[in-house]
Structure 1
Amino acid sequence: MRNQVSAKRHPHDDAPDTTEAFRRLASLPPGRQHDSLREQIVEAWLPMANRLAGRFRNRGESLEDLRQVAALGLVKAVDRYDPELGNAFESYAVPTVTGEIKRHFRDHMWTLHVPRRVQDLRNRVRFAVQELSGTISGRRPTVAEIAEHARMSEEDVRAGLEALESFTALSLDAEVSGSDDGYSLGDVLGSADPALDVVIDREAVKPRLRALPERERTILYMRFFGDMTQSRIADELGISQMHVSRLISRCCHRLRDQVMRDAA
């Protein structure tokens, strides 16, 4: 391996001189010898890939997973690098590996779907906040200060700040801050109020109720709003209970049919 991948070092201690190895790789046809030399080059540059992965630690992904993603980017860089262009491999590999890591975060780490533009705004805002925090003590930088520092509009800054909170999500079982009785986020979520359907139905039937004859309106009011029995209504109006039952049934069917026609 020493003959194929020279021990000569670049400014970085983990940057081997693989210039000759890449030239040999480009001249070899597909096969075992080509694959073996390719593997040696990748192995020689792995420390560089690991160093780049380390820059993204503490962002919600394990360092081991980041190193695997960086290694994948390194393999892509080795396969796509053309030594005939005259550029150093490191100058080509670093953005390739870094781009692979960033793509991993963009595609796999966001809990909520966030458009690419908003993700970019988030990164610009995050860097601006970090830089301003070194010059402002005792408080967070304002939206206007971030906008001026990052040369962004205040609207874009607000979008970026909102995206900062969208990278991860809390479980609904998470305890509410300051709660001592196990009160969770799920306990504060609202739900559909079944009474809303009743309100809609009442508003829909009102004009049809007003159009009923007075006696039918009175019977319905006594039955459904006064909670009176049919026998008591019959006694109040001086008619038979059977007649009250028929009137209630006939009115309800008529109102239902009319309201359904109105809705259609």
Structure 2
Amino acid sequence: MMTAAAVRNTGRQTVVEVPEVADPSAVAPKDARELSRLFFDRLAVLEEGTPEYQHARNTLIEMNMSLVRYAAGRFRSRGPEEMEDIVQVGMIGLIKAIDRFKLSREVEFTSFAVPYIVGEIKRFFRDTSWAVHVPRRLQEARVQLARATEELRSRMGRTPTAKELAELMSLTEDEVIEARLASNGYSASSLDAAINSSEDGESVLADFIGVEDATLGLVEDFNSLAPLIAALSERERQILHWRFVEELTQAEIGARLGCSQMHVSRLLSRTLTRLREGLLAQ
């Protein structure tokens, strides 16, 4: 049930008394446009944070939810599950529009709000649709690249080269290649994704991904260390062999050499210091 709006002059300010709306979400879009003006008039004279202000603001939000549904309808192809997220994001745009709208703009609230709602939805896609975050310029370049590739492919009957794409897009070849690489970040496959193999039956993607061999990083160190070890005395090389190849304790090495564990420790320390300094000097 809605009652007519009234304007009351208290002597100090004009107070707009808005109608009571039993179910704001059920208000028809045409009626919502008219009522919204009254509620915006009300917000203009209320103190932010008061219960009356919050009530007027919440009523505006609920009355204009049809704008969110209208804007979200443009993205129906995303599927029913993602549509729920789209509507939620669109509501954020609606709330921002309500908080920033002023009647003095002399534009319809619907014209003001829809770009906010659509912009918030597009921002959501830009920030969440990519499996790997890439700069916005590369996201935009990906769209241009797809259009240019399709245009040249239909015109030439083959896949265009980077040079041909660069000429059409007014970019350098390096920028086209960068956009191509960035396109790989739009979607990702799970490592558990099934891959059919004629030899092994069904495998998963992880089976075909190699792992980094940690010992490869030691090859350069070994090559640099070899001449330094060769320059050591026979005794020093033997101690290193016992300690790091046979993995004997210092006490066991001392027993073989006929000296104390402490003496072996000093010999090892001195030898390792020489090798370390030799590597740093290269």
TM-score of the superposition, structure 1-length normalised?
Answer: 0.65
Structure 1: how far apart are the matches of 2:123 and 2:136?
Answer: 11
1:47 lines up with 2:69 in the alignment: yes
User: In the alignment, which residue of structure 2 is the partner of 1:191?
Assistant: 212
- Kindly report which structure 2 residues correspond to 1:69-80, keeping only aligned pairs within 5 A, or say none: 69-80=89-100
Which structure 1 residue ranges, 5 or more long, are not aligned? 5-13, 228-240
How has the CA–CA distance of structure 1 residues 74 and 33 changed in structure 2, closer, same or farther, with 3 Å as cutoff? closer
What RMSD in Å do the two structures reach over aligned CA positions?
Answer: 4.2
Q: 1:86 aligns with which of 95, 99, 106?
A: 106
Shift in Å, 1:258? 1.2
**Number of residue equivalences:** 230
Structure 2: how far apart are the matches of 1:204 and 1:197?
Answer: 10
On the 8 A contact 1:122/1:163 being kept in 2, the answer is yes
How has the CA–CA distance of structure 1 residues 108 and 154 changed in structure 2, closer, same or farther, with 3 Å as cutoff? same
User: In the alignment, which residue of structure 1 is the partner of 2:82?
Assistant: 62
User: In the alignment, which residue of structure 1 is the partner of 2:42?
Assistant: 28
Which amino acid is 2:119 matched to?
A: G
Structure 2: how far apart are the matches of 1:156 and 1:75?
Answer: 39
Shift in Å, 1:123? 3.0
On the 8 A contact 1:70/1:100 being kept in 2, the answer is yes
Which amino acid is 2:41 matched to?
A: S
Shift in Å, 1:186? 4.8
How has the CA–CA distance of structure 1 residues 110 and 179 changed in structure 2, closer, same or farther, with 3 Å as cutoff? farther
Q: 2:172 aligns with which of 145, 153, 165?
A: 153
Shift in Å, 1:138? 5.2
How has the CA–CA distance of structure 1 residues 39 and 196 changed in structure 2, closer, same or farther, with 3 Å as cutoff? closer
Q: 3-state DSSP class of the match of 2:64?
A: helix
User: In the alignment, which residue of structure 2 is the partner of 1:206?
Assistant: 227
Structure 2: how far apart are the matches of 1:180 and 1:158?
Answer: 35
Structure 2: how far apart are the matches of 1:210 and 1:36?
Answer: 83
Shift in Å, 1:121? 1.9
Which amino acid is 2:38 matched to?
A: R
Q: 3-state DSSP class of the match of 1:170?
A: coil
On the 8 A contact 1:52/1:97 being kept in 2, the answer is no
Shift in Å, 1:105? 2.2
How many percent identity over aligned positions?
Answer: 27
**Structure 1 stretches of at least 4 aligned residues deviating more than 6 Å after TM superposition:** 1-4, 243-246, 249-253
Structure 2: how far apart are the matches of 1:88 and 1:153?
Answer: 44
Stretch deviating more after TM superposition (172-181 or 253-262): 172-181
Which amino acid is 1:25 matched to?
A: F
Structure 2: how far apart are the matches of 1:180 and 1:71?
Answer: 52
User: In the alignment, which residue of structure 1 is the partner of 2:272?
Assistant: 256
User: In the alignment, which residue of structure 1 is the partner of 2:188?
Assistant: 169
Structure 2: how far apart are the matches of 1:64 and 1:18?
Answer: 23
- Kindly report which structure 2 residues correspond to 1:104-253, keeping only aligned pairs within 5 A, or say none: 104-129=124-149, 132=151, 135-136=154-155, 139-175=158-194, 180-181=199-200, 182=203, 184-194=205-215, 196-197=217-218, 200-201=221-222, 203-210=224-231, 212=233, 216=234
Structure 2: how far apart are the matches of 1:50 and 1:80?
Answer: 21
How has the CA–CA distance of structure 1 residues 162 and 196 changed in structure 2, closer, same or farther, with 3 Å as cutoff? closer
How has the CA–CA distance of structure 1 residues 66 and 22 changed in structure 2, closer, same or farther, with 3 Å as cutoff? same
Shift in Å, 1:28? 0.5
On the 8 A contact 2:127/2:133 being kept in 1, the answer is no
